[in-house]
Amino acid sequence: MRVTFAHILGAFLLPLTLAHNKRAGNTTATNTTGLVEGLLANGAVDLGDWDVAYQKAVAFVAQMTNEQKVTVITGGSVAALNWTALEQKDATQNPQGYDYVTAFPLSSALASTWDRELMTAQFRAVAAEFYGKGIQVTSGPTSQPMGRTPYSGRLDETLGADSYLNGIAFGIGSKAFADVGIVPGGKHFLLNEQETNRMGLGSSSGIAPYSSNADDKTIHETYLWPFYDGIKGNMGAVMCAMNKVNGTASCENDDLLMGLLKTELGFPGMVVPDVSGQSTAYGSANGGLDYGSSTYWSNATVQEGINNGSFSQALLDDKAVRNVIGYFYVGLNNGSQPAYVDQEAYVDVRANHSTIVRTNGAAAIVLLKNTNNALPLSKPRSIALFGANAGPVMAGPNYEFTVSGTPSLYQGHLAAGAGGGQGSFSYLVTPQEALNARARTEGTMIRWILNNTYTDDVVSFFNKRQDTSSNSTGGFSGPAGLSGGTSLSHNIPAYAATAQVCLAFINAFSGEGADRTELRSIEADSLVTTVAGNCNNTIVVVNTVGPRILDTWIEHENVTAVLYSSLLGQESGNSIMDVLYGDVNPSGRLPYTIAKNESDYNVGVCETAVCNFTEGNYIDYKYFDKYNVTPRFEFGYGLSYASFEYSNAAVSITNSSALASMYPTGPVGVGGKTDLWDEVVSVTADIANIGTVDGHEVAQLYVAYPDAADQPVRQLRGFERPSIASGASTSVNFSLRRRDLSYWDVAAQDWAIATGTYTFSIGASSRDLRLNVTMTI
């Protein structure tokens, strides 16, 4: 998808006029100036370091006629003011569709690292590639769909099924893009949790787009939560979703956009529509959309609305300011960005980013099983490689762009998503390629069958009935065949039975435009069971877009190890080999729950016009915990080649004055009330590496709240990933913000801290909790 905005060419200073009137302490945008809620000119939001950009934006807009303002908010150029179209591109993996860019790991892989520094490095590198191509605005990072249903088709693009983990990554991504000089455009706002019946444009269902109906508490505590982080991280644009929320289209939803986003969260930037998100002129304008189509917002329509009261001059001015404030905030007006180039132009922006890809890819891999120390590999004599996911696709590495869904299996190595998650590869290192390189240096013999259902009959060229009397070559009689170089029968059981190590590669594919129809695959699972039935050292490698049921074979005695990850980008094969051979000690952790059976999940795909979020906050591990459902692998799970011990948990209040009131008392700033971000509690623990190899441990903090808060059994509220040498120990500190201890008080319409006992649990996953400490407020 391509959306144009506008930007100023060249660097010049504008007079600062129309000073921003700040009013601290307002809970909502009080209408003291006669303007409607949510307008920046109301002064209800303490803009902080956004104020300079606001002043520049106001001064620039003050030079415009109404016709020029309409041109700006519909993405046109204004020659008289030296203003031309900005470029916006999808940003999950790289500048989509461009040549000479880096294919990074997908966002869900990045979330699996549970590492703030790795997240920052990748987001900054992605932003640098956008900047180098002359693109100014990104459609990303992507918070949602969060993972209400494991069948959601776009979970590879997003940042985990927990609001805290998702929010931390979302905020890091926003800040990284803004710091590099790109306007980040977070999406999708809000409750866009599935693809089925999402697209009103061109839909034949008769019920699209669906309405996601959720209560106030659920919206705040689960789905709005990450947008606090994103906006605090200097997000300059937000994409409103195609779906409806509580019966009203997201892109003309006054409660959603003017109320929650612009007033409660203090968002100063522009709201842009997803494709087909805008469906009316005045409804979208008054509902909070800032950038729209000239089909709906023509000069005549806007002026007519101002004249008859359907629209207002104040709204038009506010939209124009919001369309340019992010541009000024990230410094795009300094004139240093390279000019925009076409997708095929030879402008190489890759730098040393392949190193980041390989590092982050390895860090994203989750070790789910490792029986009898099957891993890491140590110079095996022979390896048999199985599955289409191990090798190259027939024509690649890129594939045709689609927003119509995908097959459930990809017939090649899966390292990128589809639709909004689709990346552009300059090259792709497959596992087969990386393994061959390793085998050459270690003297390992390799055999492979790069197909999930291979039999001798597949190679029809060699297996057709032939006239053997005329088939002699080189003095040898008999039919031609693959057995010319070996006496081994060419089928999966035969290859598996003779190998010291068997590697079975499988994947699960989906993408924008359709949800998944299955969480397991008969074809792929049959490959694993066939290999494991003939090889007593079968290692399975899974690349998947989202939760994948493994119970067909996970307990098979010959399945000795399982590596599990999202889509790892252009260095995928190298990242996988780094972990298989122990060059990297695995430290990835699941950003969602893997169930034993499909029926263990509480939410499927909604097929009706109204999708009621009756489960409330209880999605993923929060549902499993509430109803005592035993998962196959819980949220936060992951093994290591090392072993770690936890000790000496302690908790202390670091800001008692901030906890003196039940509700926050600060002014509304960018990212909500300013004191929501105060650090108030510190939880510490010691971790020792008692294993024989160095490694990273992902220590996780979960909080159980007093009953009055009406919260899940426990919620993630901190994580750290220290590197600990064998035999060494370190201390970790989890710093909790006021918002981390707060719940949404529906009656008070504010974040509140309940009085009572809080239990802080520290461990290696949501169910492997090693230490507990309590505190009473």
Calculate the dihedral angle through the C-alpha atoms of 378, 383, 589, 519, rounding to the nearest 10 degrees: -170
406 compared with 106, residue with greater pLDDT: 106
Give dist(CA 525, CA 386) in Å, integer.
Answer: 12
Query: In degrees rounded to 5, what are phi and psi of residue 337?
Result: -70, 140
CATH of domain 642-776: 2.60.40.10
Q: What average pLDDT does range 726-754 have in this prediction?
A: 99
Domain with CATH 3.40.50.1700 in the chain: 353-460+486-591
Q: What average pLDDT does range 453-467 have in this prediction?
A: 50
Domain with CATH 2.60.40.10 in the chain: 642-776
pLDDT for 381 equals: 98
Give dist(CA 746, CA 297) in Å, integer.
Answer: 36
User: Residue type at 304?
Assistant: E
pLDDT for 553 equals: 99
CA dist list (Å): 103 to 144, 221, 348, 427: 21, 33, 13, 8
Strands (DSSP E) contained in 171-264 are 183-189, 211-213, 237-240, 244-245, 248-249
| Residue 53 pLDDT greater than 60, yes or no | yes
Q: What average pLDDT does range 274-297 have in this prediction?
A: 95
Which CATH architecture best describes the domain 353-460+486-591? 3-Layer(aba) Sandwich (3.40)
| % pLDDT > 70, the chain | 90
Q: What is the pLDDT of residues 197-236, one digit of tens each?
A: 998 655 556 777 999 999 999 999 999 999 999 999 999 9
Give dist(CA 37, CA 19) in Å, integer.
Answer: 19
Residue 256 CB contacts under 8 Å (≥ 6 apart), including other chains: 189, 190, 240, 245, 248, 250, 288
User: Residue type at 5?
Assistant: F
Give dist(CA 715, CA 717) in Å, integer.
Answer: 6
| Residue 481 pLDDT greater than 80, yes or no | no
Give dist(CA 107, CA 420) in Å, integer.
Answer: 11
Q: What average pLDDT does range 624-637 have in this prediction?
A: 99
Cβ atoms of residues 16 and 328 within 8 Å: no
β-bridge partners, 645: 688
Query: In degrees rounded to 5, what are phi and psi of residue 74?
Result: -115, 15
Q: What is the pTM of this model?
A: 0.92
pLDDT for 29 equals: 34
Of 203-212, 330-339, 423-432, 620-629, the least confident = 203-212
342 is catalytic: no
β-bridge partners, 576: none
Burial class (CB in 10 A: 0-12, 13-18, 19+), 34: exposed
Q: What average pLDDT does range 94-118 have in this prediction?
A: 97
CATH class of the domain comprising 3-98+133-334: alpha beta
The DSSP secondary-structure symbol of 221 reads I
CA dist list (Å): 130 to 275, 328, 364, 419, 645: 21, 17, 23, 18, 43
pLDDT for 27 equals: 33
What's the mean per-residue pLDDT of the chain?
Answer: 91
Residue 162 CB contacts under 8 Å (≥ 6 apart), including other chains: 591, 620, 621, 635, 715, 716
Q: What is the pLDDT of residues 298-323, one digit of tens each?
A: 999 999 999 999 999 999 999 999 99
pLDDT for 14 equals: 30
Give dist(CA 356, CA 335) in Å, integer.
Answer: 28
| pLDDT grade for 508, boundaries at 50, 70 and 90 | very high
| pLDDT grade for 685, boundaries at 50, 70 and 90 | very high
Helix, strand and coil content of the chain, in percent to the nearest 5, comes to: 30, 20, 50
- Options 115, 274, 317, 625, the catalytic residue: 274
Q: Which helix (H) or strand (E) holds 572?
A: helix 572-580
Please choose, from the candidates 653, 700, 655, the residue with its C-alpha nearest in 3D space to the C-alpha of residue 677. Answer: 655
Q: What average pLDDT does range 104-118 have in this prediction?
A: 98
Of 353-357, 475-479, 636-640, 678-682, the least confident = 475-479
Q: What average pLDDT does range 248-252 have in this prediction?
A: 97
Query: In degrees rounded to 5, what are phi and psi of residue 503?
Result: -115, 115
Of 325-329, 422-426, 638-642, the least confident = 422-426
**How many alpha carbons fall within 13 Å on the CB side of residue 696?**
24
20 compared with 250, residue with greater pLDDT: 250
| Residue 23 pLDDT greater than 80, yes or no | no
| Joined tokens for residue 499 | 């190998």
| pLDDT grade for 769, boundaries at 50, 70 and 90 | very high
pLDDT for 389 equals: 97
Pairing between strand 248-249 and 244-245? Answer: antiparallel
Of 59-73, 287-301, 478-492, the least confident = 478-492
